[in-house]
A and B are shown apart, each in its own frame.
Chain A
Amino acid sequence: MRIRELNLIRYGKFTDRTLLLPFKERDIHLIVGPNEAGKSTVRTALGDWLFGIPMRTPLDFLHPMPDLRIGGVLERRGAGAEPGELLAFERAKGNKNTLRRPDDVPLPDGALQPWLGSLQAQAFNRMYALSHTTLVEGGAGILSASDDIGRMLFQSASGVEHLGAALSKLQSQADGLWAPRKSGSRVYYQALEAYDAAHAEFKRATLRTKDWKAQHDALSATEAQLAQAKAEDVELRQQISRLERIRRVQPLLLVLDAARARRTELLAAGDIPLLEADAAQVFARAMQDMALAQADGARLQRELVELQASLQETVVDQNLLALQADITGLNERRLQYRAHRTDMVKREEEIRLQWVRVQELARGLAWPADSEDAVRQRLPAALLRTRLAALIKGRSALALDLKNAASGLSDRQLQNRQAETDLQELAAGALDPELALAVEQAMNLGDHAKLMAQWHDEIDGLTQEMEDAMAALGSWRRPLQALSAMLVPETAHIQSLIDQHKADAAQEQTYRDALDAKTKEVAQLQLDLQQFVRNFQPVSREQVVQVRRARDDSWQAIKQAPQALLEQAAGFEAQIKQADQLADDRLERAQHEADRQSKSDALERTQFEREGIEHRLATLKGRVAQRSAHWEALATAGGLPALPLELALAWLQSRQEVLELERRRGSAERRRSAQEAAEAQIRGSLWSRLGRASAEAPAPELGECLRQARALITQADQAQGQRKALEQQIREGRRSLGKLQDALNTAQAAWDAWLQSWRVAVQSVGHNADAPVEQVEAELELMQEIERLLERIRTIRSERIETMQADLDGLAATATSLSARVAPDLADQSPEDIALELARRLDLAQKAQAARTDCLARLERSQVEWAQAQQRLDSVHARLAPLMAAAGAKDVTALGPAIQRSDERREVEGKIRSAEQDLSQAADGLPLESVRSESARIGADALKAELDRLVAASHAVVDQIAALSNQYGAQKAAFDALNGTDLAARADAQRQEAIAAMADAAERYLRLQTAARLLKWSIEKFRQTKQGPMLAKASAIFSGLTLGSFARLLVDSEGDAPRLFGIRPSGEPVDVAGMSEGSRDQLYLALRLAALELQVEQGFNMPLIADDLFINFDDRRTAAGLKVLGELSRRMQIVFLTHHDHLVPLAKEVLGADLNVLHL
């Protein structure tokens, strides 16, 4: 699609202006006009014509909004000879039917759909209506891959986008297997660790032959020593055993011989019958039993005689025993009544004393006291006495009530009168309300002096802080006004610049470090190479060639001059030899030469890498310088001092602090002034209300004014309070007077009633009515005591004295009766004596009875025991009878010596048997005679010495055996541990497993690393040769626009996001930020044109409106730009707007006759 003509009917400054854009082979149109001529209006008009005039437009300054109108003709050219297609239409301003035919007939809204497709106004303005601004914005958008074109740009040939990921994976896998740095996470090093561990275990477990043999020999030697020591030990033990036997049997032989001699001696006097072994014991026990039985019989005989005599002497009084209970009871009653007679005397005396007291009291009452009955009859009735006592008791309370009521009434009357007097005396006064108001205002003002001090401190503090903050601005300090007037760039922007700066600084340091490292590496490699050459002197191919060439030259010379052969032969031979020698050397030192070449290559490669780093460092420095310049311009424009960028944010922060402190100080000062004004006003008001204002006496401090005003107010308040209290007191006093008068009347009535009752009662006991109360009360008390005493006398007489007399009478009757029955001789004695004597006589009778009973029992028992003693004697004789028969004894006395002889014979024979038995055991089984002869060969002393010697020797041998046994045990255990264990074999197997794992890891690493290296290399080559279609086009256009300053464009996909680089013809990459502004514009234009070309290729063709795009192009690049546009205009329409007249001849020169130039 192209625009054939544009009619600015009523639009902006234009009225009925037509721009004709006829088609030529190169469809490019240059619209030239000075500023304000309407170039931008033309660009806007094209968009508005195609897509509608927007609701709001600034282009209604000449024609009213509803009248705006644009027209024109669209054209689509036919292919080859085919006819084209035209569409003429106009665009009106409005909400609907804005699309019209030239004859103003509305067209349907979709009429342009076949021409514009889905293109919207926004996309048209972004892609096809370009100003310098939209070009730059669009270019940046493309580079950030934020739109389709951007994505298209970074899309290389299909599949390449996966290469980075594949490479990363390869490298990551390789790194997981091996890397120069040891790490437990890497497979190879894990295996290496296992290898080392297995190797260590292998060495530990391996048993060397010589070690085994050494242990074997040592064990054998110890075994032999041990056997020898054991043999020696056996020998010694045998000798010791023999001597021990001799020592054992010598005393036994002596004992045996002595016993045999004694037996012979005993039997010499004849045979001695052998009695039972216990015969002596049996005999002794029998003799002892017999003696005991005989002694018991004699003692019992004596006891029987004595008991019978005693029985005959004992007499018992049976009459007394029969009255035993009565006599005992009589004696007990005697003891019980023993104190009665003295007690009766005491009671009589007590009665007498009571009666004397009664008589005294009766006399006090003037009563006759002749007898108890006479006195008793004079006592008044108890009821009357009680009545009188009650009246006396109530009298005091009634009298007190009456007195209290009277005094209460008079006190209250006095108080009332006093209060009324006080009230009248209290001065009346009133408070000025204005004064109170002034005081309240002063209070609201607060502590003025303190506040003023605080404000002062705060302002001083802020001033000081501000001074500090100003100082923090350093040498870039400026006056406050200047600081305030500065136009500060956005912090984010500065931060961004600083971040970039820091990143570049870090990068620079990295480059420098890398450069240092590379420089050192180069030096090291050079040194290595020199040393290598010096040490090995490898022969290079060039040397060989050179020598051979000299040799061949000589040969040629000889061939050309055969006559000189003899002269040159020696030299030629030497040359042959030298060449051969060198060739041989080179052959021999081929490895050295290869090594030298390898080192030389490494040096060259390192030098190349170092140059690369230097180049990158230089680029980085350029970028830093550029950014510094940008910052300086920014600072100058904002009126900022020439700050280093790194300090800018901190400085601006300090500046902001200064300004903030200034603002706070101003605010504080304003508030302080307001406080001062308010204080002066309130102070004056107070002083005048206190009535003290005068020209001579100015108002004192606010505090003093306030103090005086407060004192005045306090005084008035106190007087008012007192008055109120007195008035209240008077009111209450008046109310209570009535109550007090009622109470007085009640008390008086009660008193009168009592008086009446008293008189009646007094008269009833015989007094006159006026008898004094105290007298009546005293007489009543006397009567009460007399009545008590009379009652006491009566009680003693009836309850004590009469009872005791009855007891004594009964005792006498019983005593008399008993004495008449058993002791008439006592009839004339007192009852107490009779009772006493009868008791004594009863006791004697009871004792005689007990003695007789005991004597009878003892007699019977002794008779039984005497019979038993006789039986025991018979038994003893029976037991001795068999012994006597065996011993041939006729009586008991002969039996003792016979038993003694028998026992002696038995003892001797026992000793002989025992000695023979001991000898048998001690002789170790040898016959008695051989033992006797062996024993006879050595004396006791010699035996002891020999035995000691042998024991000592045996101990030494035993110690030796123990030591050797220990040694042998340890050696044997150690040797037995060498049992053919498979530990070393297992360790070696594990080592082989680790080796296999290491080899496997190494192989896999090398495969992966090779593949990674190959892929990386391929990617680089691929990038060089295979680019995406858009990148390829943009590359070509960019190279043309920059006149070959850049060879091509390259996308680096390795980072997080793909980045675009311009590649110099030298191969140096330059990123977009590193390009000049002109180059950057050219890059953006190249990207845009490439995108348009792609769209054209895809069949979508729209005109391009370019508004002064070459503002940063120099003339040569402008020409190049026009040329590029000219080429593009063969495939799409281009309308180029410019205000540069000088562009016209240049454009005509570049584009020739095809260029259509229009002037506005």
Chain B
Amino acid sequence: MASPGTAPAEESELYRRFAPRVRLYGLKHLRDEAAADDLVQQVLLVAIERLRAGEVQNPDEIGSFILGTSRMLADSTGRKARRRERLTAQFHVPELYAEPVAESGDIEIVERCLHRLAERDRRLLVLTFYVEKTSPEIARELGVTGTVVRVARHRALERLRECVRLRQGFGGQVGREGTKR
């Protein structure tokens, strides 16, 4: 039930606007989809509770408040996760592996666009986002500087984004440089 100053419609609007941002924050800092989803629920519940209690008065402050809550709760979740990892390592409990959510339509397009990139750009993106190597580590591996890696990486991702955007607009038809089909 909504009380002081908030109505269900406003709470829905709050959720619509901020849930994706909290989820991104969770993915960045917790590196786990389920943990990021949990964070969204926890943070938005706290925010709605505070709004109902009239503790957040200025609408311009709501973003900062939600970010602050995200930081606090993610930090606590992160500490718990690190403790679980330590215990898992100590007692040799096997990690459960969850299959990633399939989004086959987009994956097909991303796969094709990825293979249209120059070989070094493709390798750079895979090393960054899949292997999660830092730019100095990649720089050592490719024999270039960290600055070169960062510039090449954002240009490569920009090209990938443009290619995907075009293909999504044209029904996903595109050739590729790599394996012939």
Do A and B make up one complex?
no
Q: Which residues of B contact A (CB under 8 A)?
A: none
Question: Which A residues lie at the B interface, using CB under 8 A?
Answer: none
